[in-house]
Amino acid sequence: MTQPLLKVRGLTKHFAVRQGATGAKSAVRAVDGLDFDVHAGETLGLVGESGCGKTTTGRMLVRLLEPTAGSIEFQGRDITKLGRRAMRPLRQDLQIIFQDPYSSLNPRHTVGKIVAMPLEVNGVNPPGGVKARVQELLELVGLNPEHYNRFPHEFSGGQRQRIGIARALALRPKLIVADEPVSALDVSIQAQVVNLLRELQRELDLAFVFIAHDLAIVRHFSRRVAVMYLGKVVEIGDRADIYERPRHPYTKALLSAVPDVAAFGEPRQRIRLTGDVPTPLNPPSGCRFRTRCWKAQDVCATEEPPLLVREGSGQEVACHFPEPVGVGAEHVSEVAA
């Protein structure tokens, strides 16, 4: 395979917090050693419940947060140690779309100013002038270029998200981190925005890291999918493998919660996870999912399962007792391989 556009190894972020009456310092292990690659023009879906560290990961990728440890290689260059000046040319290739279309646009700036901001900041003067470029971008994301002089409060949520997308595209990036770009939108608008992103990807040969808590949206959009749980990737692989042949019990549980038209009429077996997500301040030993897993055994508490390709499917799974391939939702435990 060619060299990946983005290569993440051992990415870790711990937040220091004070807690208790004494104010003792401890660390929230928001992201704890992630490895994944993203190739040019490809989309990686990053899925997990809220609080699993996916947003933190996204922010580290565009250097809004400094990683505690690990490396992020972009086009073969480690960007975690670069200063602001050295980072500048790379910023143009690496952009982010935010979740909340209301707080992501400066309410006192016109749409034109918002979309032109990355150009202004980086001193880019596109041929034909900034205004022409901005109007071109607005048209590209399906907005009326004449709305250049309007203010964000005059637009709907979906339109605002389009403005945010136009801004991310202004510098012609190679990779965009989309941090739950549709979860704040009305259901009826979500599909339009996702389709817009898909069209843009095709036209502009963009790579995406698409963060979502919703497996359905990720499937629609991503070629590869990574499932996160408590700051770790538990399963990563091609879309087909993850959706058709999930091996990690957590993935399986997530998938069972998604209504599926194809399975209409068949009896649905939904796996209900019991208990709460443990606190990342003090994650469980060994396998982090063991406290909610119906297959957990003693080994899960003592040994952390490595992320490996298992026989029967192509994806990597971090589980001592992966689900068998081709079996439905009945819980057949397998003897440890």
Partner 1 sequence: MSLSQIETETAGVDAAAAPVAPQPGMVGRSPGRLAWARLRANRTAMVSGWIMVFFVVLGLAAPLVELVYGISPFEQFQDKIANNSLPLGYLGGVSGEHWFGLEPQLGRDIFIRLVYGLRTSLFIAVSAALLTTGLGIVLGIVAGYLGGWIDAVISWVIDFALALPFLIFALAIMPTVTARFYGPRDEIPVPFRIGVMIFLFALFGWTGTARLVRGQVISLREREFVEAARASGAGLFHILFRQLLPNLWAPILVSFSLAVPGYITGEAALSFLGIGVVDPTPDFGVMINKSLSYAQTDPAYLIFPGVVIFLLVLAFNLFGDGLRDALDPKSSR
CB atoms within 10 A of CB 49: 14
CB of 141 to partner 1, least distance (A): 9
Report if residue 122 touches partner 1, rule: CB under 8 A.
yes
Residue type, 231: G
What 3-state DSSP class applies to 256?
helix
Report if residue 163 touches partner 1, rule: CB under 8 A.
no
Residues 6+ apart with CB under 8 A from 266: none
Taking the mean position of all CA atoms in its chain, how far away is CA 258? Answer: 18
Distance CA 320, CA 335 (A): 9
Number of residues that bind partner 1 (CB under 8 A): 65
Judge contact between 192 and 209, C-beta under 8 A.
no
Distance CA 185, CA 13 (A): 29
| x/- letters, 237..276, toward partner 1 (CB under 8 A) | ---------------------xxxx---------------
| x/- letters, 14..33, toward partner 1 (CB under 8 A) | --------------------
Q: Which is nearer to partner 1, 35 or 214 (CB)?
A: 214
CB of 261 to partner 1, least distance (A): 5
Report if residue 125 touches partner 1, rule: CB under 8 A.
no
Distance CA 45, CA 47 (A): 6
Task: Return the residue of 142, 284, 286, 324 that touches partner 1, per CB under 8 A.
Answer: 142
- Residue 1 in tokens: 């395979």
Judge contact between 250 and 227, C-beta under 8 A.
yes
Report if residue 146 touches partner 1, rule: CB under 8 A.
yes
Residues that bind partner 1 (CB under 8 A): 59, 62-64, 84, 87-88, 91-92, 94-96, 98-100, 103-111, 114, 117-118, 121-122, 142-144, 146-151, 153-154, 156, 158-159, 162, 164, 167, 171, 187-192, 194-196, 214, 216-217, 219-220, 258-261
